[in-house]
Structure 1
Amino acid sequence: MSPMRPQVVAHRGASHEIAEHTLAAYVAALDIGAEALECDVRLTADGHLVCVHDRTLRRTAQTRGTVSSMELADLAQLDFASWKNPWNELDDEAPDRDEALDRVLTMRHLIETVRDYSERSGRRVELAIETKHPTRYGGLVEKLLVELLTEYGWTGRDAPVRVMSFSHTALQRVERLAPELRVVQLIERARNWSVLSRVVGPDWIIGPGIRMLRDHPKLGRRIAGSGHEMHVWTVNKKSDLKLCLDLGVKAVISDRPDHMLELLGE
């Protein structure tokens, strides 16, 4: 990756084509050359960190229930991929799928996938992990996440990982538990920056949404001029990538990492 262009981060894997947060989506993202993988993390009832965005299972597993109320063994029985292509079973020409690629993905498995890929390929790949709030488990999510990262030696300044959240309190918690770990303060609404700009740490990365930057051009320039590195989500179009380049954004989080890499290579 050129130091003059942003890092391309696969949002929930190669999620435009493949069901989000599945191992299949992340393997595809690695194969096309994504330089980092983004994931959301939640805690199961029996204390396992899993890569799932929604609090409920209705959208991605097409069943009732919440992630926090179910044990990992129960989640492992669910299909997290069919919703993306519901007609696949009726297609006689569709290739047979490895069901293991479509099941719930644990944070541990994703970490090991990134670690093993980097070792085999000699190419550094990073992880951008978002902790979801509010949650019934509160700060236990960050505590268990930092413990897991510590197990792999991934809590130093040079570790291939950063922790993101819309919750300022959650990131403060991460900073206390692992002072050298990079953190990203996500921002969804423009009005939040006036408050957050006074309380974020000097080394914190700022993560605004692309829609917010589009709607408030001056705000993007203010953040860019604040001295904070900027990582932007979710960047899928050429015009949005151009806006990020103009603002000196250091990472673009995209459902279409292949498209971003193609545009950056032109």
Structure 2
Amino acid sequence: MQHRSAEAQDRDEPTAGAQLMVERDETPGSAVSRRAVLGLGVVGLGVVGAVGAGMSGALDLWPGRATATPEIPDGAANLTGGHPIATKPPASVADWRAGGPPFYIAHRGAGIVLPEHSLEAYHAALDWGATCLEISIGMTSDGVLICLHDATYDRTTTLTGPVAEQPSAVLAKGRIDIPRLGPRWQGDGRPQIPLLDDVLAQIGPHAILCLEAKDDNAFKPMMKAAAAHGLNGRIYAKLHLPATARVAQARAAKVPIFMYAGTATDLAPARLDPVLRDLDRARDVIVLPAVVDNAPIDPRIVSRVVGRGVPVWMYPVMRRSEALHFLSLGAQGLITPDIGYVSSTTASAQADTWAKGALASGELTRFPYSEKFGVRWGDPATDAGVIRLDVPGESSYLLLGQLCPVAPPDGSYQLEFDYRFDAPATPEHALTVAFGRADDRYVGPTAEAGSTGYRVVLRPDGYAALLADDGGTTPTRRTLAQASIEPTPVDVPVPGWKRLGIAVTPTSISVSRAGVEVLKSTHTAYRGGYVHIGRDGRRGPISLRRVRVTTPGDPRGAQA
């Protein structure tokens, strides 16, 4: 039996070391700068349904699924405008595409918020407005089709070894196991590895499915299973370029093609152009990688492929700024593992969900699919509701996207959280809060071209500063205020939890610790709504808990 190489299996993964940096179109009223807030909230962890402004009780707009579904006004736009979130499932691929771009495709369900390729993640994607999902499929040695990204069980489950070399009987004791997502998804909370038949039955009636056979031998059985469920008019066949044999099989079944070009070699005109000529512009799509060889894809490549006329979808799209960037280049589809956040169908929250042992939609590390860059979780018995920033040998930042954009009517808000230095004092690491950012691009320790906003920096040796990052071709960083608070000698443990507060008004910024103001500035240039919390330096973990955003007159803030 032939298996794809490890390189081929993982070539649609974001590559460590690459960071997508984009420029934002700030033209007032431009299509790519619009953001319509739908006013939708999420119950609990956001898995069992959405409620919020505009709800009129628990609606069952998708028969057969017991879930509260948000009532969305006719014509309500998502993040980018132009394509309303559907209030009913599309009848066919043609029906779905007739709605016009942009198209949002849920990757691995909600694969960076809930355990990837679990029924829980697929249902969460539907609850967040997904009308199209990408599904990866393997086949056991006795011919049972399952939903799993890799050819082996090792990375995402409690089982080990190749899927194709073991019978389906092993599934009874296997569970999906992704520790970075939190203790909610550990122990008895670990989901089962789903059978494709169950996914087609539960998810197929409610969304378009992009089906990918990870094993060549699974392709024909996968297509047969979709047909048995009456889904041939509601699926794409996801293929990796050039996939000549599978193209013929998909054409014979009259199924449109989702063609993925995942490497620099695939993107070369001599290899890609013949494939583009053979794709049907009215039915098929070409998928381009956001990252190629450790660097963001050259926008000229995207524009060139867009110009060939076949609809272009981009993968992976983790952030709203990335979505705006690719749509501005002419891409029509965005393949995202956090569809609720990227499409803005989840409302901005005012507090973290860490006490529930889970991440919220919009909480993003540098590489959200990476265990290395994932947050560390406190022991539920002794440190419930605590996360730790501790990437070995590197700085570590977390986007608090679930709170963003912080956009109070009068421009005033307060961000508060508890922090704890979990290592003896050293000038080599610091807690950093980056706020006032215009968009959600990843914030690292250095000033970056085009990125503006503020930083509060606290070191365990007592140094504190309020800084301004001034973007531009040659970015600069200015110190607006600094102080020394409770100095701690180097290599001496820093005692206990401290509460940090950052109060922003239209005319000032005030930073307090334990209720006492320690830094202040009247700088007013940057009032963007995106926030990161980070640990600078190569060593020294920092723990966080009880994040809150409060705004004047907001009753939710008073309850936080």
Residue matched to 1:182: 256
Residue matched to 1:115: 204
Q: How does 1:122-133 map to 2 (within 5 A)?
A: 125-132=207-214
Residue matched to 2:279: 202
Residue matched to 1:241: 323
Of 301, 308, 314, 1:226 maps to: 308
Residue matched to 2:235: 161
Q: Are 2:227 and 1:150 equivalent residues in the alignment?
A: yes
Residue matched to 1:48: 144
Structure with the bigger percentage of helix: 1
Preserved CA contact (<8 Å) 2:340 2:346: no
Instruction: State the distance in 2 between where 1:181 and 1:239 align.
Output: 32
**CA 1:160–1:197 in 2, change beyond 3 Å: closer, same or farther?**
same
Deviations, residues 62-85 of structure 1 (Å, cap 9, x unaligned): 332111112222123201145444
Residue matched to 1:103: 192
Preserved CA contact (<8 Å) 1:142 1:174: no
Of 333, 340, 356, 1:258 maps to: 340
Residue matched to 2:134: 38
Preserved CA contact (<8 Å) 1:163 1:183: yes
Residue matched to 1:122: none
> Unmatched 5+ residue regions in structure 1?
119-124
Structure with the bigger percentage of strand: 2
Deviations, residues 159-183 of structure 1 (Å, cap 9, x unaligned): 22101121423532433441x2111
Letter of the 1:130 partner, please give it.
E
SS in 2 for 1:197: helix
Instruction: State the distance in 2 between where 1:22 and 1:88 align.
Output: 14
TM-score (norm 2): 0.40
Instruction: State the distance in 2 between where 1:86 and 1:50 align.
Output: 24
SS in 2 for 1:38: strand
**CA 1:8–1:176 in 2, change beyond 3 Å: closer, same or farther?**
closer
Instruction: State the distance in 2 between where 1:154 and 1:143 align.
Output: 15
Residue matched to 2:266: 192
Instruction: State the distance in 2 between where 1:8 and 1:174 align.
Output: 26
Which protein shows a greater Rg?
Answer: 2
**CA 1:223–1:263 in 2, change beyond 3 Å: closer, same or farther?**
farther
SS in 2 for 1:153: coil
* Deviation of the 1:89 alpha carbon: 8.2
TM-score (norm 1): 0.81
Preserved CA contact (<8 Å) 1:8 1:252: yes
Instruction: State the distance in 2 between where 1:253 and 1:19 align.
Output: 17
Instruction: State the distance in 1 between where 2:263 and 2:230 align.
Output: 34
Residue matched to 2:49: none
Of 102, 110, 116, 1:6 maps to: 102
Preserved CA contact (<8 Å) 1:61 1:83: no
Preserved CA contact (<8 Å) 2:247 2:257: no
Letter of the 1:166 partner, please give it.
H
Q: How large is the RMSD of aligned CA atoms in angstroms?
A: 2.7
Letter of the 1:113 partner, please give it.
Q
Deviations, residues 13-55 of structure 1 (Å, cap 9, x unaligned): 1111111001111111111111211111111111111111111
Q: Report the number of matched residues.
A: 243
**CA 1:75–1:205 in 2, change beyond 3 Å: closer, same or farther?**
same
Letter of the 1:209 partner, please give it.
P
Instruction: State the distance in 1 between where 2:186 and 2:110 align.
Output: 24
SS in 1 for 2:274: coil
Letter of the 1:127 partner, please give it.
L
Preserved CA contact (<8 Å) 1:127 1:160: yes
Q: Which runs of 4+ in 1 moved over 4 A?
A: 88-91, 263-266
Deviations, residues 95-124 of structure 1 (Å, cap 9, x unaligned): x74x6xx111111111111234x3xxxxxx
Letter of the 1:199 partner, please give it.
V
SS in 1 for 2:318: coil
Instruction: State the distance in 2 between where 1:18 and 1:50 align.
Output: 18
Residue matched to 2:471: none
> Unmatched 5+ residue regions in structure 2?
1-82, 85-98, 348-404, 406-560
Instruction: State the distance in 1 between where 2:244 and 2:341 align.
Output: 35
Letter of the 1:181 partner, please give it.
V
- Per mean C-alpha deviation after superposition, the further-off stretch among 165-174 and 188-197 is 165-174
Instruction: State the distance in 2 between where 1:90 and 1:75 align.
Output: 17
**CA 1:261–1:88 in 2, change beyond 3 Å: closer, same or farther?**
closer
Q: Are 2:182 and 1:61 equivalent residues in the alignment?
A: no
Preserved CA contact (<8 Å) 1:234 1:252: yes
